[in-house]
């Protein structure tokens, strides 16, 4: 007992002593070199431009605001990549499990090839060897869509919100809430009474019908199609993805997609064959078997490793700094170079990543608890 206490006290003293030693050195160095450890600089004008931003930004904005731009850019690329990588991963997993030998081989080659090449090499390839070597705007590639690929990035057709968009959004929100509630009520009623109430069909009708009605009721279309058109020097209209964003997106999606595919495949393989056969024997259709029996059980296995894949993706997005996409780390490093406040800015960067990691894992853990197997 006494030994344990001694061990605890010794380790605590060692760690605290170590921290004090570090802090002391920092304070001394700060004093000697005139470093500022405070956060007073956050309000000063940043003075540097950023390649792209979700919110309006110019060099006259403050350092703090520039940092916010970086956080938003990280979130933007992470969210879009997560959605696309999940879709790609599911597709590749199903392909690898396919009974068609050729399809399954193609998926295996993709997965084994991509997972064994460092992400940074892939990012450099996409950025320096592909996106920066595309033809000039005048001679840009045209893909069906139309999607235009050139040195300036990727231009594609997009939906632009008009003045009535917000009014229509209310319809959409009401439809989502209402259909969700209806589904729950009807489903519970069906379970309680055993009478067929068509919960899914009713919910779908509401979910599609209400926004559709709203589309015509708000007067004027809420979303207008905008097509990129080649002007004298550049495209106008449409959605533009910068080469940096496009390369980062391509790299992250293809890389994480390969890892997600293995996660999904393991999940599907983890469902006992007997489950499938038993469900068929009960008279469920193949679609119902997948939806009601296989998928919920596979999900339980898939979710935890999938969480860590999403977290990895978010952390990997920091490689953006090496291809010049102004993400959180890029902006943070620029601020360090401009303002010379290495320690406080670095604290901000670490804290931002930690908050992102922790929030994601908390949300996913709550979800995980909901789908977890309830044992008797």
Partner 1 sequence: MTTIQQTGSQPPAGLNPIQWLKKNLFSTWFNTLLTFVSALVIFFVLKGLFTWVLTAADWTPVVKNLKLFAVGQYPIEEMWRVGTILAIVSFLMGLSWGVWGGTVRTFAIALAVGFTLIALLPFDLYPGNENQPDLILRLGFIAHPILVVMGYSLGRTSVVKSRFLLGLWLISFVLTILLLRGFEGNQILPRVATGLWGGLLLTFLLALVGIVASFPIGILLALGRWSSLPMVKLFCTLFIELVRGVPLVTILFMASIILPLFLPENLRIDRVMRAMLGMTLFAAAYMAENVRGGLQAIPKGQIEAAHAVGLTGSQTMLLIVLPQALRIVIPAIVGQFIALFMDTTLAIMVGLVELLAVGKTVLNSNPAWLLKDKEVYLFIAVLFWLFTYSMSYASHKLEVALGVGKR
Sites for partner 1 among residues 24-53 (CB under 8 A) = 25-26, 28-30, 32, 35
Q: Is 227 helix (H, G, I), strand (E, B) or coil?
A: coil
Task: Tell me which stretch binds partner 1 (CB under 8 A): 11-19, 173-181, 241-249, 366-374.
Answer: 11-19
Burial bucket for residue 124 (CB in 10 Å: 0-12, 13-18, 19+): middle
Q: 160: which strand partners?
A: 224
Task: Tell me which stretch binds partner 1 (CB under 8 A): 23-31, 171-179, 200-208, 209-217.
Answer: 23-31
- Find the binder of partner 1 among 46, 71, 78, 119 (CB under 8 A): 119
* Closest to 248 measured CA to CA, from 306, 336, 308, 314: 314
Q: Is 58 in the site for partner 1 (CB under 8 A)?
A: no
Q: Is 151 in the site for partner 1 (CB under 8 A)?
A: no
- Find the binder of partner 1 among 72, 299, 301, 322 (CB under 8 A): 322
* Whole-angstrom Cα Rg for the chain: 26
311-312-314-319 Cα dihedral, nearest 10 degrees:
160
- Per-position b or e across 235-258, b if 16+ CB within 10 A of its CB: beebebbbbbbbbbbbbbbbbbbb
Q: Is 336 in the site for partner 1 (CB under 8 A)?
A: yes
Distance (Å, whole) CA 358 – CA 352: 10
Query: Closer to partner 1 at the Cβ: 101 or 216?
Result: 101
Q: Is 141 helix (H, G, I), strand (E, B) or coil?
A: strand
Query: Closer to partner 1 at the Cβ: 35 or 299?
Result: 35
Q: Is 290 in the site for partner 1 (CB under 8 A)?
A: no
Q: Is 12 in the site for partner 1 (CB under 8 A)?
A: yes
**Can you give the binding site for partner 1, defined by CB under 8 A?**
4, 7-9, 11-12, 15, 22, 25-26, 28-30, 32, 35, 96, 98-106, 108, 112-113, 115-122, 124-125, 128-130, 132-133, 262, 315-316, 318-319, 321-322, 329, 333, 336, 342-343, 346, 349-350, 353-354, 357-358
């Amino acid at each position: 007992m006494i030994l344990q206490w001694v061990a605890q006290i010794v380790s605590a003293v060692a760690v605290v002593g170590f921290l004090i030693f570090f802090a002391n050195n920092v304070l001394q160095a700060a004093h000697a070199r005139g470093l500022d450890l405070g956060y007073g600089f956050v309000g000063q004008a940043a003075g540097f431009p950023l390649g792209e931003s979700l919110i309006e930004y110019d060099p006259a904005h403050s350092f703090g605001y520039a940092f916010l731009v970086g956080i938003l850019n990280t979130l933007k690329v992470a969210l879009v990549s997560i959605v696309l990588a999940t879709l790609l991963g599911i597709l590749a997993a199903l392909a690898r499990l396919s009974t068609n030998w050729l399809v399954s081989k193609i998926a295996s080659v993709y997965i084994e090839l991509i997972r064994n090449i460092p992400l940074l090499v892939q990012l450099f390839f996409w950025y320096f060897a592909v996106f920066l070597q595309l033809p000039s705007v005048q001679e840009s590639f045209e893909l069906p869509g139309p999607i235009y690929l050139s040195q300036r990035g990727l231009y594609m057709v997009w939906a632009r919100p008009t003045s009535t968009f917000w009014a229509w959004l209310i319809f959409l929100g009401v439809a989502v809430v209402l259909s969700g509630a209806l589904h729950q009520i009807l489903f519970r009623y069906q379970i309680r009474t055993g009478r067929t109430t068509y919960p899914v069909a009713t919910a779908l009708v509401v979910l599609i019908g209400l926004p559709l009605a709203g589309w015509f009721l708000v007067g004027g279309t809420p979303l207008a199609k905008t097509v990129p058109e080649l002007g004298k020097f550049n495209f106008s209209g449409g959605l533009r993805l910068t080469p940096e964003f496009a390369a980062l997106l391509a790299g992250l999606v293809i890389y994480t997609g390969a890892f997600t595919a293995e996660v999904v495949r393991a999940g599907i393989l983890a469902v006992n064959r007997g489950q499938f056969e038993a469900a068929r024997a009960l008279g469920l259709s193949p679609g119902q078997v997948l939806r009601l029996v296989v998928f919920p059980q596979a999900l339980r296995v898939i979710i935890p490793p999938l969480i860590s894949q999403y977290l990895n993706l978010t952390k990997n997005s920091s490689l953006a700094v090496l291809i010049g996409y102004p993400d959180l780390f890029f902006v943070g490093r620029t601020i360090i170079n401009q303002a010379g406040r290495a320690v406080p800015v670095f604290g901000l960067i670490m804290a931002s990543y930690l908050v992102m990691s922790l929030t994601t894992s908390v949300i996913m853990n709550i979800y995980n608890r909901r789908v977890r197997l309830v044992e008797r």
